[in-house]
Amino acid sequence: MQFQQYSNVLDELGYFPLSSKSEAILYDAAKKSIERLGGSASKALLDHICSINGLSEKELLTNYDLFEKSLYRVLRKGAEVILHYLKRELLVQAILIDPNMTFVIHDSQ
């Protein structure tokens, strides 16, 4: 079997080489946020967003801006629920990396 065939098999199994720790964290958090919809619904949503954008799952889930815009385009206001969970997960990961990190929360009023 050639390298490309191995790569395709790994892609199908959900193993993606990520170039940085931050990409891995974003990918995992985005995947978890979508999976809250349930197995078949999350797969259908990811497949749909990837197909309309012509992207792979890795490309979509490792680019926050693209992920956010795509969710809003497909789900409109419903995207906020997924993005809220994603931001929460990213915050947890940031604190796990650096427990001394401080955050300032701005009041939107």
The answer to whether 75 and 88 have CB atoms below 8 angstroms apart is no
The answer to whether residue 4 is domain-embedded is no
The answer to whether residue 83 is domain-embedded is yes
| Mean pLDDT of the chain, nearest integer | 81
The answer to whether residue 81 is domain-embedded is yes
pLDDT at 95 over 70: yes
Kindly report, residue by residue over 26-64, the tens digit of the pLDDT: 999 999 999 999 989 999 999 999 999 999 999 999 999
What pLDDT sits at residue 25? 86
**What is this structure's pTM?**
0.70
Contacts 24+ apart (CB under 8 A), 102-109: none
The answer to whether residue 72 is domain-embedded is yes
Q: Which residues contact 53 (CB under 8 A, 6 or more apart)?
A: 60, 66, 70
H-helix segments, 14-78 = 21-35, 39-53, 57-61, 64-75
Range of the domain at 49: 17-96
The answer to whether residue 3 is domain-embedded is no
The answer to whether residue 85 is domain-embedded is yes
The answer to whether residue 27 is domain-embedded is yes
What pLDDT sits at residue 1? 46
The answer to whether residue 66 is domain-embedded is yes
The total of structural domains in the chain comes to 1
What pLDDT sits at residue 42? 92
